[in-house]
Amino acid sequence: MSVFTGAGVAIVTPMHEDGTVNFEKLGELLEEQISAGTDAVIICGTTGESSTLTHEEHLAAIKYTVEKVNHRIPVIAGTGSNCTETAIYLSKEAESYGADALLLVTPYYNKATQKGLKIHYTAIANAVKIPVIVYNVPSRTGCNVLPETMADLVKSVDNIVGIKEASGNISQVAKLMSLVGDQIELYSGNDDQIVPIMSLGGKGVISVLSNVAPAKTHEIAASYLAGDVEKSRRMQLEAIELIDALFCEVNPIPVKTALNLMGKEVGPMRGPLCEMEEKNVERLKKAMKDYGIL
C-alpha cells in the first residue's frame, strides 16, 4: 500500500513577524488543506524552511502536525540532513511522534558519492520502521540520485519505498521506472510535471502549488488516477503560468508571498530568504488573478 496517492502539500511554516513559528496559523492551514481534499501533508520540507529551523522548532512542528492531523491524512516528516547522524536523530524522533513516513533530502553542500548515498539512506532507514521517501532535488543540493542507485536502495532496504523526483529530468525518471517499475512509489517534485511523472507510473505529487490551490492540485492528480487523462492534462497546462510565477524566485519566497496576498498571514521568511522583488510580486499577482485565486 502506498504512503499516499494524489496530491500531498509541501506546507509552508508560518511565522510571526518576529520570526518565531506560528503554530496557531499552521493549524489553520492544515485544516484548510484537509477540507480542500489534500491527500497528504509534508511538514518541514524545503517549502517549510527546514534549513533555518532549529532542531527544537523542527521537531515541534512535526509533533504539532501529527497531533493536529490526527490520522485524517498521512503526515510525512521532512527529516533529511547533510549529516547522517542528525538525519537519524530527527527521523527517530518523528517516528516516535507518529509520523506516517519520512522525506529525506539528499545530503547538500558536502554532497556524497553514489556509494555514500547508499550508506547514508540505508543507515537512516535501518534506524526506523516507518516508510522512507528519498527526495532528489539536485538543483538545490548539488547531489543527484542516479536511477541505478535508487533501484538498488528500493530493492535492498525494505522501508525505502519511494522517491520525490525533482531533478526535472524525465529521461532519468523513465530510466528509474524501467529498472524498478511497480516496486517504487514515484512522486513528482515539480508542479509542472505532475502529468508527465504520473504517465511513467507516478502515484502523484508533493506540491508547492497545493499551498494556494489545494482543491485544483488534488483534482489534477485525482483525475489522472481516475483515468481522465485529458482533464488532468488540461488542468496541468492551465496551472503552468501560476506554477512558473511560484518559482520565479527561490521557493518558498513566492508561495509565502502568495499566501500573504490571499490574506492567510503566514508571515515573513527567515534569512537569507527575503521579500520578493516588486516586479516579481506583480507577475505573481497577475498569475494568481488569471488562475482565479486572487
Query: CB within 8 A of 65, min separation 6: which ones?
Result: 11, 26, 30, 41, 43, 75, 77
Residue 113 labelled as part of a binding site = no
Preceding amide of 268 cis, omega within 30: no
**Which active-site residues does the annotation give?**
135, 164
Preceding amide of 14 cis, omega within 30: no
φ, ψ of residue 240 in degrees (nearest 5): -60, -45
Residue 184 labelled as part of a binding site = no
**Distance of CA 50 to CAs 25, 46, 136, Å?**
17, 6, 16
Please say whether the dihedral angle defined by the alpha carbons of residues 174, 176, 215 and 223, taken in this order, is positive or negative.
positive
**Distance of CA 9 to CAs 19, 55, 135, Å?**
22, 22, 14
CA distance 281 to 258: 9
Instruction: Give the count of beta carbons closer than 10 Å to the beta carbon of residue 243.
Output: 21
Question: What would the grid cell of residue 24 be?
Answer: 496557531
Instruction: Give the count of beta carbons closer than 10 Å to the beta carbon of residue 144.
Output: 18
Q: 39 and 8 in contact (C-beta within 8 Å)?
A: yes
CA distance 50 to 290: 31
Binding-site positions for pyruvate read: 47, 206
